[in-house]
């Protein structure tokens, strides 16, 4: 039994399987497509949604430091991702990488964590999209009833409560719309994403450029608010917890690696897409956070649409920019959902191909080369969570899933360098073992700073995953049951 659990998949076998008609997937993505897909996924959640919540709850104006800490660990993890993505250019991301280094059971575990990561990323961004859409509609005099725009359940210090709402309908709507685009094909989806990225980056630069003149430096005092006496509530522990919470704002390059099997020249273009998109977004995040907390006091920013609130607080000064910001946020969050949904469906596809999930998820639509069943299933589950649960519950689960995935990638680089040093590596992570160890160390430190409630939900999710593996996966595994 133990031997079956930790049986590894040979890299040559993985590459051979993907080479056979590319598994039915189409290689349609250029280097530019990969960079814009990365920016499309990264720029959105952190800037338009989580900045306000993390500043108001954890770090204050020092959230800029939180973003720099997260960016540092992301660069370390990104270099490790780039080596794997160039060496094993297949769908599945960390799941596929860990199958070659740690064996089937741990590969299933990380695949299950990736499902958590992308599922709750899509759901939380959809809730943020709903907040910005409602802000835009309110400005146009269109008001939807509260029981149609708020989550059905919430979690407070006293536990779970029913809010009286039916469902967050706008959040469900955008999930369904984006899923319909993905079902239409990867090339069409990439083109739409390119247009959206140009729009939202332009809007962000407008906010930074014009917002600087409305900064009140008093809002930065104190830059690091005094700790309340509780770990993670301001002070340096708050900065660290803030870094853990905003970490999933850098999720884009992780999702990008799930599309490696659909890249035209993955060995050269995947490292470029990952690292260039990561660096561009880190600069934008720090700039927006500094301007945002300078325009309005951080204590007021715990809202679903913090940048819209900051713009509105300037009165007539930036009133002309308000509709552009809201439209840019809506477009930007839409592209995040698109890439996260793409990543989620490709994880279902990759795990299903190995037999650990039902084979219905690995069926490819012959016409456009898309795993349609996996995409539709991802849509249904994501819409359910987006409609029922609040932003703060969803976002914290994403962070811990992302941090765990990044830790495993960094450690896997060390394992593979030791066990298979002669492998062809089109891109090599520099300064090994320093970079992987530092990346893993920072990620683990950020995980430990997250609240116990987040850990308890991860444990529950893991228990469900273990049950599924031992009742279905191990019996249908193609690696362990080749016949």
Arithmetic mean of pLDDT, 214-225: 89
pLDDT at position 376 is: 93
At 80, the pLDDT band (50, 70, 90 cuts) reads: confident
Top pLDDT among 76 and 361 is at 361
Residue 154: pLDDT band (50, 70, 90) is confident
Q: Write down the pLDDT at residue 464.
A: 94
Q: For the chain, give me the number of helices (H) and strands (E)?
A: 20, 2
Query: So what's the pLDDT on residue 408?
Result: 85
Give which of 340, 361, 339 is closest to 351, Cα–Cα: 361
Alpha carbons 225 and 239: distance in angstroms, whole number = 10
Q: Which residues pair with 263 in a beta bridge?
A: 29
pTM of the model: 0.79
> Above pLDDT 90, what percent of the chain?
10
Which domains, and CATH codes, for the chain? Answer: 28-149+161-476 (1.20.1740.10)
User: Is the Cβ–Cβ distance between 235 and 226 less than 8 Å?
Assistant: yes
| pLDDT for the residue 24 | 57
Average pLDDT, rounded, for the chain: 82
Q: Which two tokens stand for residue 456?
A: 């308890």
pLDDT, tens only, 316-355:
777 788 788 778 878 878 888 888 888 899 889 889 988 9
pLDDT at 482 over 80: no
Q: How confident is the model at residue 120 (pLDDT cuts 50, 70, 90)?
A: confident
How is residue 81 written in tokens? 């991702």
For residues 144 and 148, what is the distance between their CA atoms, to the nearest angstrom? Answer: 7
List residues bridging with 154 in a β-sheet.
161
Report residue 108's pLDDT band, with 50, 70 and 90 as the boundaries. Answer: very high
Q: Rg for the chain (alpha carbons), in Å?
A: 21
> Which of the 8 DSSP states describes residue 239?
H
Mean pLDDT over 154-161 rounds to: 70
User: Tens of pLDDT along 189-210?
Assistant: 777 878 888 888 888 888 888 8
pLDDT at residue 380 greater than cutoff 90 = yes
Nearest to 381 by CA among 357, 348, 353: 348
pLDDT category of residue 97 using cuts at 50, 70 and 90: confident
418 or 159, greater pLDDT: 418
Predicted pLDDT at 278? 83
Mind listing the pLDDT tens digit for each residue in 228-273? Answer: 888 778 888 889 888 877 776 776 667 777 777 777 787 778 788 8
Q: Is the pLDDT of residue 17 over 70?
A: no
Position 134 confidence tier, pLDDT thresholds 50, 70, 90: confident
> In the prediction, which pLDDT does 175 show?
93
The mean pLDDT of 451-477, rounded to a whole number, is: 89
Helices (H), ranges, 354-390: 372-388
For the chain, the maximum distance between any two Cα atoms, rounded to a whole number of angstroms, is: 70
Would you place residue 383 in the very low, low, confident or very high pLDDT band (cuts 50, 70, 90)? very high
Assign 478 to helix, strand or coil.
coil
Name the pLDDT band for 1 (thresholds 50, 70, 90): low
Q: What is the mean pLDDT of residues 37-55?
A: 76
Sign of the CA dihedral running 124, 129, 130, 131: positive
Q: What is the pLDDT of residue 483?
A: 64
Which range in 2-11, 16-25, 48-57, 150-159 is most confidently predicted, on average pLDDT? Answer: 48-57
- For the cut 70, the answer to whether the pLDDT of residue 304 exceeds it is no
pLDDT of 176 above 90: yes
Judged against a pLDDT cut of 70, whether residue 375 lies above it is answered with yes
Band of residue 21 on the pLDDT scale cut at 50, 70, 90: low
- Beta-strand ranges (E) seen in 73-205 are 153-156, 159-162
């Amino acid at each position: 039994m133990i031997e079956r659990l930790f049986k590894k998949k040979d890299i040559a076998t993985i590459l051979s399987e993907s080479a056979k008609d590319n598994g039915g997937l189409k290689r349609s993505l250029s280097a530019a497509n990969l960079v814009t897909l990365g920016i499309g996924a990264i720029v959105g959640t952190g800037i338009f949604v989580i900045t306000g919540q993390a500043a108001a709850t954890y770090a204050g104006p020092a959230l800029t430091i939180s973003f720099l800490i997260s960016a540092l660990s992301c660069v370390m993890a990104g270099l490790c991702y780039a080596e794997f993505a160039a060496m094993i250019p297949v769908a599945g991301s960390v799941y596929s990488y860990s199958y070659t280094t740690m064996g089937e059971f741990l590969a299933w575990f990380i695949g299950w964590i990736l499902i958590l990561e992308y599922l709750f990323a899509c759901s939380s961004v959809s809730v943020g999209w709903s907040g910005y859409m409602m802000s835009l509609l309110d400005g146009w005099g269109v008001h939807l009833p509260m029981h149609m725009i708020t989550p059905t359940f919430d979690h407070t210090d006293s536990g779970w409560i029913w809010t009286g709402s039916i469902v967050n309908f706008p959040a469900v709507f955008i999930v369904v719309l984006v899923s319909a685009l993905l079902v239409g094909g990867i090339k069409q989806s990439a083109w739409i994403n390119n247009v959206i990225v140009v729009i939202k980056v332009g809007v962000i630069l407008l906010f930074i450029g014009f917002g600087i003149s409305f900064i009140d430096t008093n809002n930065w005092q104190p830059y690091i608010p005094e700790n309340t006496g509780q770990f993670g509530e301001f002070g340096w522990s708050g900065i660290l917890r803030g870094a853990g919470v905003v970490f999933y704002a850098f999720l884009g390059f992780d999702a990008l690696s799930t599309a490696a099997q659909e890249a035209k020249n993955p060995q050269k273009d995947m490292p470029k897409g990952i690292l260039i998109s990561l660096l561009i977004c880190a600069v934008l995040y720090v700039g927006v956070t500094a301007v945002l907390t300078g325009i309005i006091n951080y204590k007021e920013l715990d809202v679903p649409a913090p940048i819209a609130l900051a713009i509105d607080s300037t009165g007539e000064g930036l009133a002309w920019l308000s509709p552009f910001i809201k439209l840019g946020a809506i477009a930007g969050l839409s592209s995040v959902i698109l890439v996260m949904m793409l990543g989620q469906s490709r994880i279902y596809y990759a795990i299903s191909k190995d037999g650990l999930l039902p084979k219905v998820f690995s069926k490819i639509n012959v016409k456009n080369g898309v795993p349609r069943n996996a995409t539709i299933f991802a849509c249904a589950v994501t819409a359910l969570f987006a409609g029922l649960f609040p932003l703060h519950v969803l976002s914290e689960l994403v962070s811990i899933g992302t941090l765990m995935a990044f830790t495993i990638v960094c450690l896997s680089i060390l394992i593979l360098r030791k066990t298979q040093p002669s492998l062809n590596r089109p891109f090599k992570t520099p300064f090994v073992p320093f970079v992987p160890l530092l990346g893993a160390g920072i990620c683990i430190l950020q995980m430990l700073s997250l609240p116990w409630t987040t850990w308890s939900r991860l444990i529950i999710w893991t228990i469900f995953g273990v049950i599924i593996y031992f009742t279905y996966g191990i019996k249908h595994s193609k690696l362990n049951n080749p016949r």
